[in-house]
Structure 1
Amino acid sequence: MHIHIRKLLAILAVFAMTLGFAACSASPDGGESTKMKTVQTDKGEVEIPEHPTRIISDYYLGEFLAVDVKPVIASPYALNNPYLKDYVEGIEPMNITSSESTLEQFAEAKPDLIVTITEADYEKYSKIAPTVYIQDGKRPDKETFRYIASLVGKEQAADDYIAKFNDKIESRKQEIQDIVGNQTVSILEVWPQEIYTMGSHFARGGSILYDMWGLKAPEAIQKDMVDGDEQYKVISLEAMPEYAGDFILYGVLDGTDPAFVTSSNLWNALPAVKNGKTLPYEQVSWMHRDPITLNAQADAFIAFFEQFKGK
């Protein structure tokens, strides 16, 4: 009796192992499927492939490229970032003509992972492939990078990249602080008939300037957009002097005529403008905060501030 039970248990065990193996390695159409893992996302737990190979991202791109992973489709805005131009060959731009065209393109690409910044599209994307929603601004840039790298099993590559970047920032920190001293630094951006100012929470290199190097912004920026949680503020031309630091980084939205600012008496009377302490930046590049862009921004900052060494 016991012998028969043991034989039956042995047969069931083999059968269970066979089913488990089949579930892991075979798909319904008879082809080989991917081993899955559970990840925590901003929409709860999601099952994704352990090693996804056909990835779509509607925003995050430099994070993947920095760990040598190339999505099959990516946001055209990210693809237009000049800092990423050497990495993006072969990536198809996301079709943003309409919501329907986007979904059709995604479905035809047969992705095994979609990473999105757009909560409103999460359910639609989830019907096409496992989808990870990453809320914008919820995590510091480095944590977002680490998280995205973990989705594709590249945690060590991300840590190595971050360590090298941190070494660069730390090695120049004292030098930059000595150059700037008690002077303030601000970020201003010109849009059609609007001026945006921002601190350390809205890209444009603010996290490097204020968080990593500890530089100070004018009080109107420091209080709300560096020490506080406000991401940006739209200000009037008349209010601009209150937000203008001794050093000014300024960008212009593509296609915008900045003359209403740069030709104004208020702009040209600013000490930073009169003293040549302004750094123009290309908005299409600096709107991103992926690790490759941050690395390039750090180089631009270093070159800019070094001009004033000993002055």
Structure 2
Amino acid sequence: MFKLNSFGKAAAIFTSLSMAVSLAGCSSSNSNDDGTKQENSETRIVETDKGEVEIPANPQRIVSDYYLGEFLAVDTKPIIASPYALDNPYLAEYIGGIEPMNITSAETSQEMIAAAEPDLIVTITEADYEKFSKIASTVYIQDGKRSDEELFKYIADLVGKESEAENYISEFNQKVEESKGKVHDIVGDQTVSIVEVWPQQIYSMGSHFARGGHILYDLWGLKAPEAVQKSMVDGDTPYEVISLEALPEYTGDFILYGILSDTDASFVEDSQIWNILPAVKEGKAMPYEQVAWMHRDPITQSKQLEELTAYFEQFGE
């Protein structure tokens, strides 16, 4: 199953995905993809993080300022999406025809969205909720309130594709189980760590901040170095900024290693401390593409599972 969403704060468990559904005929005028109008569309009431909201029963023109892979995983394509989500290489084959949101300013985003005449807006940004609500039915999803699996089901329900989400999750979990034994046979009691380099900063991450951590520690049950395990796997800390000198304490027998785009990582890679780490000396440092691994939607996690499995398998007999 997918991991608890936690970006910079402890995630609260959202234990109910009950959607209060009330079908009712109402007169509305929304644009289809071909520019024609659909009249008298049905609507329903859904429970959101801003209370009950009336949305189309079958939304056709969706805008999302953050969530994208969740929609694409159930074969639903928004008309406008966050440029950050669109930059995710794992989603590249699915995003044809989606317009990147103009994020030059709040005003340009709002103008672009209004001009597109959406019938549903899904936002992670509470500050934009009232403005978006004046344009179309808007669902605000609070960051950190749901696990990734719960979030996926919630979004799938908004477009009437709960069963598709359940099938996707079931297939993912089956792949996890198929790979778990093989990976454990290879890794054994060795530790696995995640390190990411930003300009003059080094981040250590556990299971709460994407980068494959949920798969490594929660689903496969691999162990992190003690300093990481205690606070960032067993605890709720999403990440820690560490010094170069602290790398030996926060890195394990295997290292997943990412670099923020356009970052000069030489202060790490050229250092003696980095180059004498056992994982680096033994070729057990796996580089990952930060722009892709920072996401944790269903498609991204499925791709990460494949790459992580292939990575560890190369160390098998």
Q: TM-score scaled by structure 2?
A: 0.88
Q: Provide Cα deviations, 1:148-200, integer angstroms capped at 9, x if missing partner.
A: 10110000001111111111110111111111111111111000000111111
Equivalent residue number for residue 171 of structure 1: 178
Equivalent residue number for residue 5 of structure 2: none
Structure 2 SS opposite 1:238: helix
Structure 1 SS opposite 2:131: helix
Unaligned runs of 5+ in 1: 1-20
What is the one-letter code of the residue matched to 2:27? A
Equivalent residue number for residue 3 of structure 2: none
More helix by share: 1
Alpha carbons of 1:27 and 1:112: their partners in 2 closer, same or farther (altered >3 Å)?
closer
Q: Provide Cα deviations, 1:36-67, integer angstroms capped at 9, x if missing partner.
A: 11112222221111111100011110110010
- How many residue pairs get aligned? The number is 289
Equivalent residue number for residue 265 of structure 1: 272
* 1:55-70 alignment, distance < 5 Å: 55-70=62-77
Alpha carbons of 1:91 and 1:28: their partners in 2 closer, same or farther (altered >3 Å)?
closer
Whether 2:25 is the aligned partner of 1:24: answer yes
Equivalent residue number for residue 259 of structure 2: 252
Whether 2:298 is the aligned partner of 1:297: answer no
Higher relative contact order (CA 8 A, sep 6+): 2
Identical residues among aligned pairs (%): 68
* 1:109-124 alignment, distance < 5 Å: 109-124=116-131
Structure 2 SS opposite 1:250: strand
Whether 2:228 is the aligned partner of 1:203: answer no
Does structure 2 retain, via aligned residues, the 8 Å contact 1:25–1:32? Answer: no
* Dislocated runs of 4+, deviation >4 Å: 28-31
Whether 2:219 is the aligned partner of 1:212: answer yes
* 1:226-245 alignment, distance < 5 Å: 226-245=233-252
Does structure 1 retain, via aligned residues, the 8 Å contact 2:29–2:39? Answer: no
Q: Provide Cα deviations, 1:114-163, integer angstroms capped at 9, x if missing partner.
A: 11111221222112111111122322211111111011000000111111
Equivalent residue number for residue 16 of structure 1: none
Alpha carbons of 1:31 and 1:169: their partners in 2 closer, same or farther (altered >3 Å)?
closer
Q: TM-score scaled by structure 1?
A: 0.90
Q: Distance in 2 between matches of 1:145 and 1:250?
A: 27
Whether 2:189 is the aligned partner of 1:188: answer no
Larger Rg: 1
CA RMSD of aligned residues (A): 1.6
Alpha carbons of 1:31 and 1:57: their partners in 2 closer, same or farther (altered >3 Å)?
closer
